[in-house]
Amino acid sequence: MGKAKELRKRPNAKKDAQKAVGKIFGDPTGKKTEAELEEEFNKKVELWCGRIIRGVFMSYSLFGALASAVEWATRPDMPPLVPIGGGDDLAGVNAIVTGGCGGMGLELTRGLAMRGANVVAGCRAPKPPLPDDADADFGSSSGDELLDSLLDPTTIEGIPEGSVRGSAVRHELDLEDFSSVRAFAAKALAEHEGKVDVLIHAAGSMRACENTTDGFESATQVNYLSPVLLNRLVTPRLADRAGSSLKPLGNARVVHVTCSSAASMGGKGADADGVLLASDGVKPRKKGCDPGSRYADSKILLERHARVLARKFDKKNVLVAAVDPGDMLTDYVLKANWRRGGMRYHPAAIVSWAVGKASTAAFGPHGFGSFTKRQPERGAAAVAHVAVGDVFRNVAGTGAGGRVFSDRAGAFTRATGCAREVEHECGVVREPGPKRSEDARVHEAKALKRDETDSEVWKMTSKVLAPWSGELE
């Protein structure tokens, strides 16, 4: 009764309420129909959702830029690949480096050879021939070392003959062709007379969702399957060398170059089914192959392989590891084909693309990254520290293989600021512990599941590579 009396006292209360609601939805007069109000409301919701999405996207981009700046400002020093004054501490070490003729791989090849190692570099393309009008006989017996190096197809551009204490030669290696991997393995073993101490997988590609010579998905073959095949052909020789009395490093080493930041974006195709799917290649006009995800999956697969390979060869005195050297100023990223992803048409992605274009126009092909990315020499030093560092002399056989090292995980040596209890733990990416919402048993179950998936991937990879895994002649 009280409300009825109040309404009788306020006969315009209903109209006032309609006007109040109308003000909220943009109709101060309250004369619009319910359908019109609903349509306007939906438009406003759509407008604000777009603003929120663009704001989140731009905030994420700004956060990434800020994180890069902070990482750059707090980045620990890296021990130089070649000590000041040089040295021959790697005399007698036989190494194989894939991708050893460009970028970080070239710095690795040069640095190891300058310290006395004998390096065989795998290079994507054969050395370009001299022009047709060049006199091939001129200089062949003149003692002109520069001209002789131009005529020699095994010399590496950027490493003149006589500039290193060891040796550095190149042989063709196309990771998109399994027969090329086999041919390279045979030549590299012949160069070292079957005695290999170090195998570094520095080659890789960010191109994905394309078919290789063998009909496989490109990122999976280049970044995962071909390195695995090379391991199968060469690692037994490393084990033989590590088991002999001639072991300059104390053990043999297999080091894979990975990318932890990219690996964090993938995972859905980094299993046995993903390997099998990649063996079928990419069908023409088939949607659903995202280049970024395929690249990320290939790096996760490589880390899975490193863990299983470490368990199989740990007792044979072979140390297996993966190293993330961080973003570097090379053309590696510039060759990617990730723009075909679906987000490229989103307004926020267009803004990000425009900002990227402006930064590259102002600061070069790497844009703002020119100030924060690492030089190739630093990346090579990080990889070489694990590949030939004396601190790892007695690590093989202790069950500490298969781990990932990262320049982002802290200093690599005591001299550059590492404070971890055990020095060979410096730079190791530590496994995440149990979350607050889970107990130790759930965390242990996840670890067992990961190991199970690793084994399944190993078995499927063995089946896929079986036609190319026979003994070398």
Mean pLDDT by 10 residues, the chain (473 residues): 54 60 57 71 81 73 69 79 75 94 93 94 71 44 44 72 84 96 97 95 92 94 97 93 73 94 76 90 72 91 96 93 89 66 49 62 65 86 94 88 90 88 90 72 86 96 95 82
Distance separating alpha carbons of residues 221 and 208, to the nearest angstrom: 10
Are 156 and 100 spatial neighbours (Cβ–Cβ below 8 Å)?
yes
Q: For residue 255, which amino acid is it?
A: V
Residue 265 to residues 121, 290, 457: CA-CA distances in angstroms? 31, 11, 19
Q: For residue 156, which amino acid is it?
A: I
Distance separating alpha carbons of residues 224 and 228, to the nearest angstrom: 6
Query: What's the confidence (pLDDT) of residue 135?
Result: 45
Query: What's the confidence (pLDDT) of residue 70?
Result: 73
Distance separating alpha carbons of residues 462 and 242, to the nearest angstrom: 24
Distance separating alpha carbons of residues 247 and 113, to the nearest angstrom: 17
Query: What's the confidence (pLDDT) of residue 80?
Result: 84
Residues in the chain: 473
Across 286-310, b (16+ Cβ under 10 Å) vs e yields eeebbbbbbbbbbbbbbbbbbbbbb
Query: What's the confidence (pLDDT) of residue 113?
Result: 93
Find where tokens 């550059």 sit.
Answer: 416
Q: Which residue ranges form the domains of the chain, and what is each CATH number?
A: 2-25+35-71 (no CATH), 80-129+139-328+374-468 (3.40.50.720)
Query: What's the confidence (pLDDT) of residue 139?
Result: 37
Query: What's the confidence (pLDDT) of residue 363?
Result: 64
Is-above-0.85 flag for pTM?
no
- DSSP type of residue 374: B
Are 77 and 416 spatial neighbours (Cβ–Cβ below 8 Å)?
yes
Query: What's the confidence (pLDDT) of residue 140?
Result: 37
Query: What's the confidence (pLDDT) of residue 404?
Result: 95
> Which positions ≥6 away from 215 have C-beta within 8 Å?
280, 281
Q: Give the number of other CB atoms < 10 A from CB of residue 363.
A: 13
The contacts found for 260-264 with CB under 8 angstroms, 24 or more apart, are 260/324, 260/404, 260/406, 260/408, 260/429, 261/324, 261/327, 262/292, 262/295, 262/296, 262/299, 263/296, 263/299, 263/300, 263/303, 264/296
DSSP for 180-243, written as a single string: HHHHHHHHHHHHTTT---EEEE-------SSB-TTSSBHHHIIIIIHHHHHHHHHHHHHHHHHH
Query: What's the confidence (pLDDT) of residue 275?
Result: 93
